Amino acid sequence: MITDDIGLWAVCTLLALLMFYIVKTIDFSIRLHYRLGFAIPFILVLWFTATAGFEISLMGIYTGSLILVFCFFLKDKKKMYRILLAGLVCIAITPVIALHYKDYRITHYTDEFQAGFESMKEHYILTDYKQIDFDALYAEYLPRFEAADDSRSFPQAYAAWTDFCLAFFDGHVYVTAGTSEEAIRLNRDTYYKSQVGADYGFSLVTLSDGRTVFANVEPNGEAYDLGIRNGLELTSFDGVDIQTAKAHTKPIPAVGDSGNVSFYQSLMVTASGSSHADLTFIDARGTEQAITVTGTSDNYNRYRQTLDLLQHNNEDTNLSYKMISDDTALLSLNSMLVEGDITYEHAEATNESYSGMKALLQEQLQNMKEDGAHKLILDMRGNGGGYLDMIPVIASLFTDSEVFVASNAAYNEQTKRYEPVQTVYTSAENIWGNGEIVILVNSNTASAAEIFVHTMMQLPNVTVMGFTKTCGSAMMVSGMELSNVNLYFSGGMTLDETGEVLIDADASRISMMTPDIIIPFDEDAFHAVFENGEDYVLDYAVSYLEHMH
């Protein structure tokens, strides 16, 4: 950071000047340790270079501080003054050099992209399946990294990486940047804020009949005053009809399946970020109106609120349950990792591992049945996945026989196909019995979670439902650490029982696994979610179960 460099230069110059005074007043023969002070600028410079990185145009400061150290060895004060002067001059002229140096604090985002790209091109497992044109992607995104290098902007590089990843339509292709949880989140949020545009006082959602309507309208805001209300239909935005506008949005926040993408597409229609936008809508009386709305700050908070209402990710304690009626229990399964369980052992991944989690789940199921439950709702919305070998452990508590989970695959050079190498099945330990199970999913149900759903769907008493499909990424994740980001992508092939790719979408962008019931996001759903703040999907599941028997 340039301010840090200036700070270092200032401190070193001051210290060097201070040393003139010190040399003048102190008698070094009294105490040898006084000489150690000459090493202080050098130590500072070392510390600074370690944290901020080496920069060749600051060579003046580096050599100057080293020169100052040589006063340590001198006994003649005149010589000390001369050396101090030499050191001071070196340090002082550094800004002049640095300012004229074209590559001052140059960044290497382009090199980093090339390294990551090469690796991905070699190792990405679904290249043929999804018909990814790596060369085209390279040509498209390289200029963005070059631009990021020119402006020395990390947010630009991060945005280039994220957009590059979005092009794969694979939930397992993503980057993270940062050394702590907060840093990772901060970088991600910065990206989102730059993508979601300005806040016009409303969000847009698409109903199951195809209409795009206003949602989460700011009460008493400018848009409200102009007549916009929840549920009214928008017909065009910024001079473009709504269908065309939707087609031009980025696939945020969903990416693995095109149906999921279109479910959320309207959220991004207002992403242009302009201070004023023209729009046309059908007002309460049925007349089309044209108005102009003003955009304020960023849309991130409203975007997040709307998204949270739509997705309704499960936030309860993992593996906790409650009785929502006399015979129905609601069990939270929002992670395929359990805190405090034995850490992963790559030895025998049998049902003996995760014994803690298994025991807890067994206990919960027993308690549920004692409480009178013979119907179960498993809330897996927001379950981002975790350890795959958890799946047979949990699923086995519901299965009467050995049910297929997934196969690990390796490429066979002769048949030119991926063939199963190792297949995992559940065991048969059913302690739940035959009671009806409904699994709730959303587009955040991903990876190990959706493989679990895939396994459970093979049971006759299981029904899977949600507003959308699951995420659509079931491949094994591989990662590489680059200088500024960590790049993750699908690196290991997983196959289903027929030997085909498990769940992930192919070039059609349509994922292979559809829930039994896609709950239509109709007007009733809209009113329940945005007017009444209800959990419509859960209510739907409850009434579905009531109608079962």
Partner 1 sequence: MRAIWRSQTYQLKREASIYIIWAVLMSVCVCIILFSTKPWGTEAGVTYTVSYAWTMAGDCQAPIAMFFALITSILVMGMDYANQTINYDLLAGYERKTVFFGRALLTILITVSGAALIMLLAPLPLAAAGGFGDSLPLWNYGIRTLVFLLLVLRITCEGIFIMVVTRKWTSAYITVALLVLMEETMDGPPKNELIPANTAGAALFQFAGWSSLHLNGEIITEYDATLPIDTLLLSAGLSILMASLFLAMAAFFFSEDDF
Partner 2 sequence: MDRERLISVNNLTKKYKFGTAVANVTFDIQRKHIYGLVGPNGAGKTTIMKMLGGLVIPSGGQIHFYDGERELSPEQARRQMSFMIETPYLRRDRTARQNLEKLRLLKNVANPQVIDDVLEIVGLSDVPKNKTVRKYSLGMRQRLGIANALMSHPQCMVLDEPINGLDPTGIVEIRELLQRLNRQDGVTILISSHILSELANLCTDYIFLHHGRIINSISGEELAKVCGSNLLINTEQNQLAQQLLSDQLGIAVLKREDGQLRIPDAVDCKKEILNVLVNNGVTLLHMSEETQDLETYYMSLIQDAD
The contact set with partner 1 (CB under 8 A) reads 32-33, 35-36, 39, 46, 49-54, 69, 72-73, 119, 123, 179-180, 344-349, 387-389, 406-408, 422, 424, 476-480, 491-492, 494
Q: Which of 104, 190, 107, 112 is nearest to 153 (CA)?
A: 107
In the three-class reduction of DSSP (H, G, I as helix; E, B as strand; rest coil), residue 503 is classed as coil
Q: Which does 34 bind (CB under 5 to 8 A by kind): partner 1, partner 2, none?
A: none
For partner 2, how many residues bind (rule: CB under 8 A)? 3
Q: Which does 446 bind (CB under 5 to 8 A by kind): partner 1, partner 2, none?
A: none
Least distance CB 114 / partner 1 (angstroms): 14
Q: Which does 30 bind (CB under 5 to 8 A by kind): partner 1, partner 2, none?
A: partner 2
Q: Which does 351 bind (CB under 5 to 8 A by kind): partner 2, partner 1, none?
A: none
Q: Which does 99 bind (CB under 5 to 8 A by kind): partner 2, partner 1, none?
A: none
Q: Which does 484 bind (CB under 5 to 8 A by kind): partner 2, partner 1, none?
A: none
- Asked if 169 and 509 count as a contact pair (C-beta separation under 8 A), the reply is yes
Strand 436-440 versus strand 375-379 pairing type: parallel
Q: In what order do the strands lie in the sheet with 494-495?
A: 417-425, 404-412, 494-495
29 belongs to the binding site for partner 2 (CB under 8 A): yes
In the three-class reduction of DSSP (H, G, I as helix; E, B as strand; rest coil), residue 291 is classed as strand
Judged by beta carbon, residue 29 or residue 414, the one nearer partner 2 is: 29
Least distance CB 28 / partner 2 (angstroms): 11
Judged by beta carbon, residue 230 or residue 447, the one nearer partner 1 is: 447
Burial letters 136-150, b for 16+ CB under 10 A, else e: ebeeebbebbeebbe
What would you measure as the largest C-alpha separation in the chain, in angstroms? 102
**Binding window for partner 2 (CB under 8 A); candidates: 24-32, 131-139, 155-163, 322-330:** 24-32
Q: Which does 547 bind (CB under 5 to 8 A by kind): partner 2, partner 1, none?
A: none
- Asked if 431 and 366 count as a contact pair (C-beta separation under 8 A), the reply is yes
Amino acid identity for residue 475 in this structure: M
179 belongs to the binding site for partner 2 (CB under 8 A): no
Token pair recorded at residue 471: 């995420």
Least distance CB 420 / partner 1 (angstroms): 10
- In which residue are the tokens 């690196």 written? 491
- In which residue are the tokens 């980025």 written? 250
Least distance CB 184 / partner 2 (angstroms): 55
Judged by beta carbon, residue 31 or residue 416, the one nearer partner 2 is: 31
31 belongs to the binding site for partner 2 (CB under 8 A): yes
Q: Which of 1, 21, 25, 30 binds partner 2 (CB under 8 A)?
A: 30
Least distance CB 389 / partner 1 (angstroms): 5
Strand 203-206 versus strand 212-215 pairing type: antiparallel
Distance CA 488, CA 175 (A): 6
25 belongs to the binding site for partner 2 (CB under 8 A): no
Least distance CB 29 / partner 2 (angstroms): 6
Judged by beta carbon, residue 31 or residue 285, the one nearer partner 2 is: 31
**Binding window for partner 2 (CB under 8 A); candidates: 29-37, 246-254, 402-410, 439-447:** 29-37
- Asked if 505 and 424 count as a contact pair (C-beta separation under 8 A), the reply is no
In the three-class reduction of DSSP (H, G, I as helix; E, B as strand; rest coil), residue 504 is classed as coil
Least distance CB 257 / partner 1 (angstroms): 23
Residue 325 sits at φ, ψ, to 5 deg, of: -155, -175
List, in sequence order, every residue forming a beta bridge with 62; answer none if it has no partner. Answer: none
33 belongs to the binding site for partner 2 (CB under 8 A): no
- Asked if 478 and 123 count as a contact pair (C-beta separation under 8 A), the reply is yes
Judged by beta carbon, residue 31 or residue 100, the one nearer partner 2 is: 31
In the three-class reduction of DSSP (H, G, I as helix; E, B as strand; rest coil), residue 427 is classed as coil
Least distance CB 354 / partner 1 (angstroms): 10
Q: Which of 238, 171, 249 is nearest to 206 (CA)?
A: 249
Classify residue 333 by burial, with Cβ atoms within 10 Å: 0-12, 13-18, 19+.
buried
Q: Which residues sit at the interface with partner 2, rule CB under 8 A?
A: 29-31
